[in-house]
Amino acid sequence: MERVVLLDEQGRGIGTADKATVHHRDTPLHLAFSCYVFDSAGALLVTRRARAKKTWPGVVTNSCCGHPAPDEPFVGAVTRRLSAELGLAVPSIDLLLPRFRYRAVMDNGVVENELCPVFRAVSDDVPRLSPAEVDEFGWVSWPLFVSLVVGGELAVSPWCREQVDQLAALGPDPLGWPVASSAELPPAAVR
């Protein structure tokens, strides 16, 4: 049973819940992460969520998302999910947006409500997809991805849509973005 960390409004841990039961019409605030994987030329690995996923099935999104287990450091969680979802081993993971938070409601009323720090990884490996997590992938230049998302030509997950604006504000070169301090992470995530 996979557990997620429940949070108060200040980002402090207040308990855990079974991931399989936490997403519904009144989803509590919980800890998550997003990761954007780039190749050494700066192209972004874009994925389509598996159609069997409970939240946003079949939707195009960033490279990888997930939830850290209770007491699991973010770098360990991101590493674990990159391996499990995409078959990627990455040499390093950089924190970009330590306090990103969003709330989104699906057409069926299911809510996502996450404090979701955003990370970057670099890999030139070919992904090996877990069919339970990802249906397909592709590499796209960051400037093209930003223009398609911001221009509304490419529909993406609601968290990815909001993250693109904040990441684009960091500068045009995703490999040169400044790394944030882990001290800026939510209190429940600081180890």
> Which helix (H) or strand (E) is 122 found in, with range?
strand 118-122
- Rg of the Cα trace of the chain? 15
Catalytic residue among 85, 114, 133, 162: 114
Catalytic residue among 35, 64, 65, 116: 65
Which residue in this structure is represented by tokens 């192209």?
43
**Non-local CB neighbours of 8 within 8 Å, separated by 6+ positions:** 14, 29
Which residue in this structure is represented by tokens 């996979």?
2
Q: Please provide the distance, in angstroms rounded to a whole number, between the alpha carbons at the two ends of the chain.
A: 23
The verdict on whether 114 is a catalytic residue reads yes
The verdict on whether 65 is a catalytic residue reads yes
Closest CA to 47 of 172, 177, 138, 140: 138
- Catalytic positions: 65, 114
